[in-house]
Amino acid sequence: MKKRIEYFDTAKGIGALLVLLGHLQGPEFFQYSPYIILMCQWIFSFHMVLFFIISGMLICYKNDTDKDLKDIAKRRFKGIMIPYFYFSFFYMTVVVVALIKKQILVGTFWLNIWYVFSMYGMNVLWFLPALFFAELLFIFLMKKLSTKKAVIVIIIQAVIGYVIAYLLRQGTYDTTIKEGAHQFATALVRPFIACSFIAIGYFAFKIINKNNKKIIEIIAAIVLLVIGGAFFLKNGAVDFRSMVFKNVFLYILCSCTTSIGIILICKNIKPFKPLKFFGVNSLIFMAVHGSETVTHYATMVAMWANQYLTRARGYICYTIIVCVILIYVVAMILLINRFAPFIIGKPFKDSYVYNIINKAKLKNKSNKQ
């Protein structure tokens, strides 16, 4: 097994943190911290593409295109889709509780069931099926076709995906069946678009991996980030989940230049342990950070602190909210890794509970002897 590349973990950690910051938006946040509006828009101009590009780079680094597709599919299913269904189940328990308390309608319950099994995804979980099928699609094409033909097919399917996404946005979905069909079509198209970003990451890594000149890469990273910022100012925020990309060409240029710029920065700086920790556990981070209950209490803590603040209230309140949520996220990461690693596709024998049970069995066995 190849050694983990630290700067990928750092980049994923930055990406996970940006997802958290990007989701902390709305009137309840903007009224105290209006300065974050532009930041949130910038984050939504590229943030999910960063993960797709890193995925492509990892495929290249691990030489997955030379491995057996069935074995890769099994491993990816354990590492991506098993967590998808586990976290979807946990999300559904919240929906069921809300239904019992009569806070939502029965139709909302069935809608969320449809989200899960149509692969449209509840909340941020949409990303996991898109990544799973996009990875397998890319590896399949690279294995079955020559590199040149595979690239041509990936480009064609991405173009078709963007066209379908545009056409879907023009439709009117005034019935439950029509809306359900729209969501299913969206879930089907996402992997074809995501596959193109995985391909960009795959081929970009071949270039990055050859170059070890730190100064050149840092300069390149800064240039790419500036270019990405310029494209963002032209195109603004997008929504990959709903496939709202605005100007497709500007979106591709913005998301790719910004993402690769961040990766290059991470490659050439000293690893920061908290970011690495978040990157290694980015799947759990992404799945648990959006708790409305935790966000509510984090906001209450910030408002309590607000009465004692005299300067930079917006900055401090927003920082408090982020810190409280991060404490919750870290706690969930530690709990899942220690007691329930099977949730993220790892063997139960890796858990703390299994070790305790196993030690107890061995002790009983030795006592009997």
- At residue 114, what is the residue type? W
pLDDT, average across residues 157-186: 94
pLDDT at 305: 80
**Quick one: how far is CA 307 from the chain centroid?**
35
The answer to whether 23 touches 295, Cβ cutoff 8 Å, is no
pLDDT, average across residues 330-351: 88
- pLDDT tens digits for 5-51? 999 999 999 999 999 998 887 766 666 666 778 888 999 999 999 99
**pLDDT at position 114 over 90:** yes
pLDDT at 90: 95
Closest CA relative to residue 197, chosen from 57, 365, 323, 336: 57
pLDDT, average across residues 102-126: 94
pLDDT at 307: 74
pLDDT at 368: 60
Tokens of 340: 């329930």
Q: CA-CA distances (angstroms) from residue 269 to 15, 33, 154, 264?
A: 16, 30, 33, 9
The answer to whether 329 touches 285, Cβ cutoff 8 Å, is yes
User: Which ranges of the chain would DSSP assign to H, the alpha helix?
Assistant: 6-23, 27-30, 36-43, 47-61, 69-76, 82-100, 106-117, 127-144, 147-170, 176-210, 214-235, 248-267, 273-280, 282-288, 292-306, 313-339, 352-368
**pLDDT at position 259 over 80:** yes
The answer to whether 129 touches 119, Cβ cutoff 8 Å, is yes
Closest CA relative to residue 179, chosen from 165, 192, 168: 168
**pLDDT at position 221 over 90:** yes
360 band by pLDDT with thresholds 50, 70 and 90 = low
357 band by pLDDT with thresholds 50, 70 and 90 = low
pLDDT, average across residues 273-302: 93
Whose tokens are 């810190």? That residue is 323
- pLDDT tens digits for 223-235? 999 999 999 999 9
- Average pLDDT score over the chain: 91
pLDDT at 262: 97
Q: Which long-range contacts (C-beta less than 8 Å, at least 24 apart) are formed by 105-112?
A: 107/176
- At residue 249, what is the residue type? F
d(CA 68, CA 143): 9
**pLDDT at position 67 over 70:** yes
d(CA 151, CA 155): 6
pLDDT, average across residues 65-93: 96
pLDDT, average across residues 63-85: 96
d(CA 329, CA 36): 21
- DSSP assignment letter at 341: G
**pLDDT at position 367 over 70:** no
- More confident of the two residues 271 and 252: 252
pLDDT at 319: 86
d(CA 105, CA 110): 9
pLDDT at 268: 94
**pLDDT at position 312 over 60:** no
d(CA 217, CA 220): 5
CA angle 148, 151, 156 (to 5 degrees): 125
369 band by pLDDT with thresholds 50, 70 and 90 = low
Residue 327: phi, psi to the nearest 5? -60, -45
The answer to whether 202 touches 57, Cβ cutoff 8 Å, is yes
- What percentage of residues in the chain have a pLDDT greater than 70? 90
pLDDT at 211: 74
> Which helix (DSSP H) or strand (DSSP E) does residue 241 occupy?
none
pLDDT at 31: 63
**pLDDT at position 350 over 80:** no
d(CA 284, CA 306): 30
308 band by pLDDT with thresholds 50, 70 and 90 = confident
